[in-house]
Amino acid sequence: MTAPITAAPPSPATPGRVRVGGVEVDAVREEEVLQRVGTALGAGRGGRIVTPNVDICRAAAANPALRALIRSADLVVADGMPLVWAARLLGTPLPERVTGADLIWSLSGLAAERGWPVYLLGGGSPGVVHRAADRLADACPGLRVSGAHAPPYGFDGTPGGVARVMGKVVAAAPRLVFVGLGFPRQDLLITELRRELPEAWYVGCGAAIAFAAGTVARAPGWLRQAGLEWAYRLVSEPGRLARRYLVDDLPFAARLLGGCLAKRLSHRLTG
């Protein structure tokens, strides 16, 4: 039998962050993310946002290097409702879920207002990433998309593949870069990009580019609020997501919430 995930942290979390699901998450609302990014970009400072969900937490729980990769980000926001629920059970609530799929729109709106160029990297195919760029530009008048590129699958395993992708981004000189290549590939690439283009902000946004393009449908708002977006996506893409959601992520989420509930009940009994 798999042991439950330990809810109690071995040491205090980083100030302003909540430790949940094996990672540390910033207790911020989406509006606060926009304020922090806007202030930093206005001062010429770059940064990096990680958007952990249950799948990312599961990977990080088994790999200290991935936990460190997440912890080193300037902002870590809870992309999954189970993380919000778990934090609530622990008595250290997060104010709301903040997703990459929402940030790609709100940050693009901010970029349009401030005249900051954006870059889209990922999406799976050129058609998807360019459609996402067009839809964002239509929704955010004045938005300047300085580049949109979907690297071929396995690009990071080919000679010069990463350098070519990085060269495109650096040459475009964006201030905001949305990288939708999946964790940890997108976040590892972002750490490399920051060395070459340190004044930009980067968002590891997973499927957000495909959502923005409309090629992958998002769940209705009420399902997202209920924490059932995963079920909607499972029905939409069962062949691709069944094992990930049902075999890997669902048991992890159940252990996470069970462990947090047990800790809360224990505190009540002993307190």
Is 194 a residue whose pLDDT tops 70? yes
pLDDT at 227: 84
Mean predicted confidence (pLDDT) in 163-176: 97
pLDDT at 234: 85
pLDDT at 11: 52
Band of the pLDDT at 4, cuts 50, 70, 90? very low
More confident residue, 12 or 23: 23
Mean predicted confidence (pLDDT) in 196-212: 96
- Using DSSP's 3-state secondary structure scheme, residue 4 falls into coil
> In sequence order, which residues have a C-beta less than 8 Å from that of residue 180 and are 6 or more positions away?
100, 120, 121, 122, 123, 186, 204, 205, 206, 207, 208, 209, 210
Distance in angstroms (rounded) separating the CA atoms of residues 47 and 129: 23
Q: What is the mean pLDDT of the chain?
A: 91
Mean predicted confidence (pLDDT) in 225-242: 86
Band of the pLDDT at 271, cuts 50, 70, 90? low
Is 125 a residue whose pLDDT tops 70? yes
Is 33 a residue whose pLDDT tops 90? yes
pLDDT at 209: 97
Is 51 a residue whose pLDDT tops 50? yes
- Using DSSP's 3-state secondary structure scheme, residue 179 falls into strand
Tell me the per-residue pLDDT of 59-115, one tens digit each, with 9 for 90 and over.
999 999 999 999 999 999 999 999 999 999 999 999 999 999 999 999 999 999 999
pLDDT at 34: 98
Is 206 a residue whose pLDDT tops 80? yes
Band of the pLDDT at 130, cuts 50, 70, 90? very high
- Using DSSP's 3-state secondary structure scheme, residue 20 falls into strand
> What angle do helix axes 64-71 and 54-61 make, rounded to 10 degrees?
130
Distances in Å between the Cα of 253 and the Cα atoms of 1, 107, 223, 248 are 15, 29, 17, 9
Distance in angstroms (rounded) separating the CA atoms of residues 90 and 26: 15
